[in-house]
């Protein structure tokens, strides 16, 4: 009897697929650019679309399992001259070679909470500081994250939330004739500004665990974002709800209301307009 098994990355691939409107938004935000850097590109959800639209794209991610899928799509879609993919820690990636060969970037994207997954304010600052020297003077840096200010303020002092498991599955699917349910166990630390979520995939009929993934976000408050970007020589110049960036805001799926709360930020080189 075959029992399905899932690696941590396989669960991530199923559970964290972004928002249906992300590709449209980031394609619009890249308008006018020539060279686009996608940090945390994963399996190429956005990078592949931008390359097909004619942009010269560099994608960087640490997970080889995702990049293997991305590289295969680059081959299948004939995008080898447009999309260049590298395995690296985005906080330590050296872009000198690419920048020397192709020129600096005029658009940088950190889609779908990538900023929170970098490991905290210090690593984000390091990532951005290394990036600045490879930007054109008119470059735009775009990222989207969920708004945590109100959530963080709901804690009482240093109190942390308890680890409560969702009673209903976060996701379910059929595999090898069995129903797989995924349950979510989350815990937040106010003092550390961390949100940790554990996902367990279980066979519905037996309760057997067939895969597990833990995702940690070191979230940044709005004041933190100003400080971190400022320290790297960048300035936040805009913050936009998802609906304001869509050509047709009525296209937002009603069942995805929580994820529609993502905020899209624009950063530019400090002193660009002075």
pLDDT digits (tens, 9 = 90+) for 31-50: 999 999 999 999 999 999 99
Enumerate long-range contacts of 124-127, CB under 8 Å, 24 or more apart. Answer: 124/91, 124/220, 124/228, 125/228, 125/231, 125/232, 126/91, 126/92, 127/39, 127/90, 127/91
- Residue-wise pLDDT tens digits, 45-87: 999 999 999 999 999 999 999 999 999 999 999 999 999 999 9
Short-list 94, 146, 129, 124, CA closest to 259 = 146
Name the 3-class secondary structure at 4.
Answer: coil
pLDDT value of position 13: 92
| Residue 106 in tokens | 């005029």
| Residue 153 in tokens | 């303020």
- Residue-wise pLDDT tens digits, 3-42: 899 999 999 999 998 888 999 999 999 999 999 999 999 9
Phi, psi of 211 (to 5 degrees): 175, 150
Cα-Cα end-to-end distance for the chain: 68
Residue 54 CB neighbours (<10 A): 9
Nearest-angstrom CA–CA distance, 131 and 105: 9
- Residue-wise pLDDT tens digits, 82-116: 999 999 888 876 676 766 677 799 999 999 999 99
pLDDT value of position 77: 97
Enumerate long-range contacts of 209-216, CB under 8 Å, 24 or more apart. Answer: 210/3, 210/4, 210/5, 210/6, 210/180, 211/5, 211/6, 211/7, 211/8, 211/10, 211/11, 212/8, 212/11, 213/8, 213/9, 213/11, 213/12, 213/15, 214/8, 215/12, 215/16, 215/117, 216/117
Q: Name the residue with higher pLDDT: 249 or 137.
A: 137
| Residue 221 in tokens | 């408050």
Q: How many helices (H) and strands (E) does the chain have?
A: 8, 12
- Residue-wise pLDDT tens digits, 135-193: 999 999 999 999 999 888 887 655 666 556 668 999 999 999 999 999 999 999 988 99
Is residue 201's pLDDT more than 90? yes
Is residue 237's pLDDT more than 70? yes
């Amino acid at each position: 009897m075959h029992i399905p098994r899932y690696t941590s990355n396989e669960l991530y691939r199923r559970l964290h697929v972004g928002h249906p409107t992300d590709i449209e938004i980031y394609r619009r935000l890249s308008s006018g650019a020539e060279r686009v850097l996608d940090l945390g590109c994963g399996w190429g959800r956005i990078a592949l679309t931008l390359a097909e639209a004619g942009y010269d794209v560099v994608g960087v991610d640490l997970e080889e399992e995702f990049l293997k899928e991305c590289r295969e799509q680059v081959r299948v879609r004939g995008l080898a001259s447009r999309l260049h993919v590298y395995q690296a820690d985005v906080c330590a990636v050296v872009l000198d070679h690419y920048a020397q060969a192709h020129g600096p970037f005029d658009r940088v994207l950190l889609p779908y909470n990538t900023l929170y997954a970098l490991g905290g304010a210090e690593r984000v600052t390091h990532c951005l500081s290394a990036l600045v020297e490879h930007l054109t003077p008119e470059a735009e840096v775009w990222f989207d994250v969920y708004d945590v200010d109100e959530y963080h303020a709901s804690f009482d002092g240093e109190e942390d939330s308890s680890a409560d498991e969702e009673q209903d599955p976060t996701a379910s699917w059929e595999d090898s004739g069995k129903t797989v349910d995924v349950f979510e166990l989350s815990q937040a630390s106010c003092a550390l500004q961390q949100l940790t979520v554990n996902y367990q995939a279980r066979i519905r009929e037996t309760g057997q665990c067939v895969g597990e993934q833990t995702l940690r976000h070191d979230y940044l408050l709005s004041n933190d974002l100003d400080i971190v970007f400022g320290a790297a020589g960048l300035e936040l110049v805009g913050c936009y709800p998802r609906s304001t960036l869509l050509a047709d805001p009525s296209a937002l799926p009603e069942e995805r209301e929580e994820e529609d709360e993502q905020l899209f930020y624009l950063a530019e080189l400090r002193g660009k307009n002075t």
